[in-house]
Amino acid sequence: MPHVKESGDALEDDFQLSDTEYLSEGENAGEQFDDSGDDGDNNSATTGSKRKAEAPKKKKQNKPKKARTEENNTPIGKRSRASQIEALNDSQDRALEHLSSIEIEDRRIPESSVKDVSPFALDHTLVNLESFLKFAVASWKSKLLVKDANAPASNTPDQYKNGKKGPKKEEKKDPKKKPLETSSDLPKGSPVVLIVSSSGIRSVDVVRALPLFAEAAKVGKLFAKHLKVSEQAYFLKNTCTHICVGTPNRIEKLIADGSLHLDRLELILLDCHRDAKKRTILDIQEIRVDLFKMLGLEALEEKLRSGQTQVAIF
């Protein structure tokens, strides 16, 4: 029996054309086209051309797990400058999560203002803090070891016994030790170095680690441990200090009310000491919120953007 070519009417009632069809005649025979799109230039069926495949999106290359683990175990102060900048930006994002991405970008610490501390080979511990400041502050002797010629002589705690003033003890002088330089025009309450710590207790330890520089000028204690804002404001108004140590919240208040001057400020040292839970000042939410609020003050932002002040991680 001869084969009869079936017509379209002979197809089953529930037959449906596939969205994808193939050309059966002409030069483009066998090519695939899709008639499900809109009419127009994008309709490949009318043109008979192949649809171009979309280029696959490039996936962000993450660091190998081993590399991330080693980096996390390395103190932030000993990491590369690029890694430190990344940590600062990440901490800022988390601290200022209520701001838009554009607002956060406007408040970024300029990368040029993040000091490269990689040449400092010693461990970032309080034992080496004075050595670090010698490394980080250019011409440190002329800035951190100068006594105020106008400073009044003060009695030391050893001069008092049972509440009564006793005879002044003579200090033994080292004949080889050169006397410190003095200056009569040092400003009050205008430090060269501002060390920012995560707590008052940690700040006390930092102050105790600076005996050399405390000989030249008193170290400003700008934290809330038994000290009132009014007392600290009075100290800054009447005292020449080269180094101040404090917590972000208290420092921010003293800058905002005009007690702490930034004219001579060259270095903001972020004390990234790890607590018992392995957290630093960049990890504790309530502390980093205060930190980036402090760094976002207009007066401080101007110093950072102009390059007059740098940030270093210790």
Task: Look at residue 91 and tell me if it is in a domain.
Answer: yes
In angstroms, rounded to a whole number, what is the distance separating the alpha carbons of residues 77 and 159?
A: 41
- Identify the pLDDT of residue 176: 58
Task: Look at residue 210 and tell me if it is in a domain.
Answer: yes
Quote the number of domains for the chain. 1
> What's the average model confidence in pLDDT over 268-294?
96
With cut-offs at 50, 70 and 90, classify the pLDDT of residue 36.
Answer: very low
Task: Look at residue 47 and tell me if it is in a domain.
Answer: no
Q: Would the pLDDT of 136 be above 60?
A: yes
Element (H, E) at 311: strand 310-313
Between 32 and 254, residue with greater pLDDT: 254
Burial 165-194 (b: 16+ CB within 10 A, else e): eeeeeeeeeeeeeeeeeeeeebeebbbbbb
Q: Would the pLDDT of 280 be above 50?
A: yes
The pair phi, psi for residue 172, each rounded to 5°, is: -75, 125
In angstroms, rounded to a whole number, what is the distance separating the alpha carbons of residues 137 and 266?
A: 8
> What's the average model confidence in pLDDT over 74-86?
93
DSSP state of 296: T
> What's the average model confidence in pLDDT over 47-71?
49
Task: Look at residue 163 and tell me if it is in a domain.
Answer: no
Question: Angle formed by the axes of helices 229-238 and 248-256, to 10°?
Answer: 60
- Identify the pLDDT of residue 256: 95
Between 178 and 113, residue with greater pLDDT: 113
State CA 117 to chain mean position distance: 14
- Identify the pLDDT of residue 153: 60
Task: Look at residue 88 and tell me if it is in a domain.
Answer: yes
In angstroms, rounded to a whole number, what is the distance separating the alpha carbons of residues 89 and 97?
A: 12
Distance from the first to the final alpha carbon of the chain: 96
Nearest 5°: the CA angle 82, 109, 192 is 105
Q: What is the pLDDT of residues 7-24, one digit of tens each?
A: 444 445 454 544 444 444
- Identify the pLDDT of residue 155: 40
- Identify the pLDDT of residue 270: 98
The model carries a pTM of 0.72
The residue whose two tokens read 């009869």 is 4
Top-ranked range on mean pLDDT: pick from 13-17, 26-30, 36-40, 225-229: 225-229
**For the chain, what is the mean pLDDT?**
80
Task: Give the domain range for residue 117.
Answer: 66-149+179-313
Nearest 5°: the CA angle 16, 22, 28 is 160
With cut-offs at 50, 70 and 90, classify the pLDDT of residue 48.
Answer: very low
With cut-offs at 50, 70 and 90, classify the pLDDT of residue 62.
Answer: low
- The closest alpha carbon to 148, from 210, 220, 241, 213, belongs to 241
Task: Look at residue 1 and tell me if it is in a domain.
Answer: no
In angstroms, rounded to a whole number, what is the distance separating the alpha carbons of residues 262 and 253?
A: 13
With cut-offs at 50, 70 and 90, classify the pLDDT of residue 175.
Answer: low
In angstroms, rounded to a whole number, what is the distance separating the alpha carbons of residues 205 and 223?
A: 12
> What's the average model confidence in pLDDT over 97-114?
94
Between 31 and 213, residue with greater pLDDT: 213
Task: Look at residue 26 and tell me if it is in a domain.
Answer: no
> What's the average model confidence in pLDDT over 102-121?
94
Name the token pair of 192: 């060269």
Report the CATH number at residue 299.
Answer: 3.40.50
Task: Look at residue 20 and tell me if it is in a domain.
Answer: no
In angstroms, rounded to a whole number, what is the distance separating the alpha carbons of residues 290 and 275?
A: 18
